[in-house]
Amino acid sequence: MVRKIKIGIVGYGNLGRGVESAIAQNDDLTIVGVFTRRAPDQLQLLNTDIPIIPYDDILQYKEKVDVLILCGGSKDDLPKQGPNLAAHFNTVDSFDTHAKIPEYFEAVDASAKPNGKTAVISVGWDPGLFSLNRLFGEAILPEGATYTFWGKGLSQGHSDAVRRIEGVKGAVQYTIPVEEAVDKVRSGKLPELTTREKHTRECYVVLEEGAVAKTVEQAIKTMPDYFADYDTTVHFITEDELSRNHSAMPHGGFVIRSGKTGESNNQVMEYSLKLESNPEFTSSVLVAYARAAYRLNERGDTGAKTVFDIAPGLLSPKSPSALRKEIL
């Protein structure tokens, strides 16, 4: 029996809980503990046997953890935590601020590499699996176009933006791909699509007492970056309806590469996800890449890595020869 890979979970929000649950599905992985800045009694783990450890003690676990999975947010947690922890641990994170990936990569690499650690950044489905499919698409069909559609799904960032509006007590926002646009892309027509033509946005809003619906609706629909470039529908609902019908976190989307080969034969590659729980799926991807991070480090392959740098076979608990025999 090979020894299990020892995982530390940093942070215990939706993602941390998803990681705990995903690791329970993998026999070759085990959880050393959950590291948190919160008081231990504020956390309710799925498995109460797992130790809850103060974040400030984390360096005491350098020899006891093979890989840390960083479950904090890209805005406030990871920019500091990622580089700090990669100096002491192999890490995997889901840093997803696309525009800042290059500088984040450099910061993590500068910290991991001289310390002989392996740090896989920006893991999940976008960035992550969707990025891989964009890469395969353009590498295999150089003459063509790549289209990414998101949804139907709950967007955390857009929901937060609506919640910040005065008069809004609660809200969720769904991003919805425009079916007509998706069909056009699938047909191989290589359409040029504007932002508005690709997605619509749908908001479910609970008003504060005394707030004026018309005013709130206007504030949402004209919000720059978030809503102004989209066709947005706003539904006003009760607090009860919000918690009853809109507390799940579904998401998904498509990456479609449409290209031409030879004398103009259309070739369409499509990748799609239909997720009932976005955070649980992201966590499942993080866990598979934690296995890869451990293996890369074992073979001396250190520094910052992305999904582009990792041979897919490293994600599987199966041996290379079993993979060739069973699923190649």
* Using rule CB under 8 A, residue 47 touches a copy of itself: no
Shortest separation between residue 209's beta carbon and a copy of itself, angstroms: 35
From residue 227 to residue 266, what is the string marking binding to a copy of itself with x (rule CB under 8 A)?
----------------------------------xx--xx
Q: Using the rule CB under 8 A, which residue among 4, 6, 21, 211 binds a copy of itself?
A: 21
* Using rule CB under 8 A, residue 92 touches a copy of itself: no
* Using rule CB under 8 A, residue 50 touches a copy of itself: no
Shortest separation between residue 162's beta carbon and a copy of itself, angstroms: 25
Contact window for a copy of itself (CB under 8 A) among 75-83, 130-138, 190-198, 225-233: 130-138
Nearer to a copy of itself (CB atom), residue 230 or residue 289: 289
Contact window for a copy of itself (CB under 8 A) among 127-135, 153-161, 167-175, 201-209: 127-135
Q: Using the rule CB under 8 A, which residue among 281, 290, 294, 302 binds a copy of itself?
A: 281
Q: Using the rule CB under 8 A, which residue among 7, 285, 290, 293 binds a copy of itself?
A: 285
Q: What is the 3-state secondary structure (H, E, C) of the chain?
A: CCCCEEEEEECCCHHHHHHHHHHCCCCCEEEEEEEECCCHHHCCCCCCCCCEEEHHHHHHHCCCCCEEEECCCCCCCHHHHHHHHHCCCEEEECCCCHHHHHHHHHHHHHHHHHHCCEEECCCCECCEHHHHHHHHHHHHCCCEEEEEEECCEECHHHHHHHHCCCCEEEEEEEEEECHHHHHHHHCCCCCCCCHHHHEEEEEEEEECCCCCHHHHHHHHHCCCCCCCCCEEEEEECCHHHHHHHCCCECEEEEEEEEEEECCCEEEEEEEEEEECEHHHHHHHHHHHHHHHHHHHHHCCCCEEECHHHCCHHHHCCCCHHHHHHHCC
Contact call for residues 319 and 54 (beta carbons, < 8 A): no
Nearer to a copy of itself (CB atom), residue 27 or residue 239: 27
Shortest separation between residue 278's beta carbon and a copy of itself, angstroms: 10
Contact partners, residue 300, CB within 8 Å, separation at least 6: none
From residue 134 to residue 163, what is the string marking binding to a copy of itself with x (rule CB under 8 A)?
xxx-xxxxxx--x-----------------
Shortest separation between residue 128's beta carbon and a copy of itself, angstroms: 9
Residues that bind a copy of itself (CB under 8 A): 18, 21-22, 25-26, 98, 101-102, 105, 122, 127, 129, 131-132, 134-136, 138-143, 146, 186, 188, 261-262, 265-277, 280-281, 283-285, 288, 291, 306-313, 315-317, 320-321, 323-325, 327-328
